[in-house]
Amino acid sequence: MPSRPRRFGGLDAVILVIAFGLLGYVLHRANSHFHYLWDWRLIPGYFVRYDAGLGGWTLNLLGQGLVATVRLAVWGSVLAALIGGAMGMCRVARSLFLRLLSRTYVELIRNIPPLVFIFIFYFFISGQLMPVLDVENRMAHAGPTTLQILTFLFGPPELLPNFLSGLICLALFEGAYVTEIVRAGIQAIPKGQWEAGWALGLRSDQVMGEVVLPQAVGKMLPALAGQFISLIKDSSLISLISIQELTFTGTELAVSSGRVFEVWLTVAALYFLLCFGLARLFRRLEQRLNRNRHPF
């Protein structure tokens, strides 16, 4: 039973022997059978490098990839929250039309593999939407200050159309999950709250805006935080349509440098630090929020 204190026993010895045995066996095979020569010294140089031409330090591939992933995560979640919020309201709307529309969106995205969705949608976005937005032309006419701001927010201007396509794909995909979180949050509010609001003479939109939503948002927050972490992980899929984020730069680097093992282990470690750190942070925030709630 879990209530008993954990202590070191015979089972621990067996498990440790098995775990370290497996690890040791893999490492031994890597060195003796596969003859892999580990060399970790090159890895730090892939984050930042000294550029003699500029006379300063600049981000190298892995650094650029990490920054691009963070940008994708931030903008992707903003966009996904907008889509999910709107669609979530549609899911609980009175109008059958809105409910059908949002239900179709959610079911379609949740039942198709993300990869297939991204491939289909990428052809559509890059072929149709990008010419309509005409980003490249607009960028050419932008002033230097605007360009600097855009570069800070979205990355190198020459990659902006590419970045936007990936961003829209990701946001549409994650939006479906946010939709369901929003719907569940609103539906978790007891019916009595609605009836009380109506009985006080509020219109339905007033009840929604002033009674139900403020309570629902509190219920949604933990799930939304989890979805934010999922979004970071799912952003790696975007590498398959050549959006230059961490997984993409990792692939490039593994091929060009030949340090396959070190590069992939580093990429995995970076994702882990990012996601695990955020998960811990969110958990702490949630505990603090709960502590400050009125103790009923």
Partner 1 sequence: MPVMNRITLIQRLRRQGRPLFDSLAFLAVLAGLGWLIMAGAGELHYNWQWYRVPQYLYRFEDGVFYPGPLLRGLGVTLELTGWSLMLTVFFGLTAALLQRSTSWAGHAVARVYVEIVRNTPMLVQIYLVYFILAPILDLDRFVAAVLALALFEGAFAAEIFRAGIEAIPRGQWEAGRSLGLSPYAVHRCIILPQAIRLVLPPLTGLAVSLIKHSALVSVIAVADLTTEGRNLIADTFMTFELWFTVAALYLALTTSLSLLVDWLERRLPVRSAGHD
Q: Which is nearer to partner 1, 111 or 292 (CB)?
A: 111
State yes or no: residue 73 binds partner 1 (CB under 8 A): no
> What contacts 108, CB < 8 A, 6 or more positions away?
none
Write b or e for each residue in 138-168: b if 16 or more Cβ atoms lie within 10 A of its Cβ, otherwise e: eeeeeeeeeeeeeeeebbebeebbbbbbbbb
Binding residues among 150-169 for partner 1 as defined by CB under 8 A:
none
**CB of residue 113 vs partner 1: minimum separation in angstroms?**
3
Residue from 48, 159, 223, 275 binding partner 1 (CB under 8 A): 275
**CB of residue 6 vs partner 1: minimum separation in angstroms?**
4
Q: Which is nearer to partner 1, 127 or 218 (CB)?
A: 127
**CB of residue 43 vs partner 1: minimum separation in angstroms?**
15
| Best CA proximity match to 227, nearest among 178, 176, 192 | 178
CA distances from 284 to 109, 232, 277, 280 (A): 32, 19, 11, 6
State yes or no: residue 35 binds partner 1 (CB under 8 A): no
State yes or no: residue 222 binds partner 1 (CB under 8 A): no
Q: What are phi and psi of 152, to 5 degrees?
A: -65, -40
Which residue type is seen at 21? G
State yes or no: residue 229 binds partner 1 (CB under 8 A): yes
Measured in Å, how far apart are the chain's first and last C-alpha atoms? 32
**CB of residue 260 vs partner 1: minimum separation in angstroms?**
5
Q: What are phi and psi of 49, to 5 degrees?
A: -135, 155
Sole residue written with tokens 């559509």: 124
Residue from 12, 39, 51, 210 binding partner 1 (CB under 8 A): 12
Q: Which is nearer to partner 1, 57 or 97 (CB)?
A: 97
| Contact present, 185 and 216 (Cβ < 8 Å) | yes
State yes or no: residue 51 binds partner 1 (CB under 8 A): no
Q: What six digits make up the tokens of 29?
A: 């095979």
Q: What six digits make up the tokens of 223?
A: 């799930």
- Where do contacts with partner 1 occur on this chain (CB under 8 A)? 1-2, 4-9, 11-13, 15-16, 19, 26, 29-30, 33-34, 36, 94-97, 100-101, 104, 107-108, 111-117, 119-120, 123-124, 127-128, 195, 198, 204, 229, 232-237, 239-240, 247, 250-251, 254, 260-261, 264-265, 267-268, 271-272, 275-276, 279
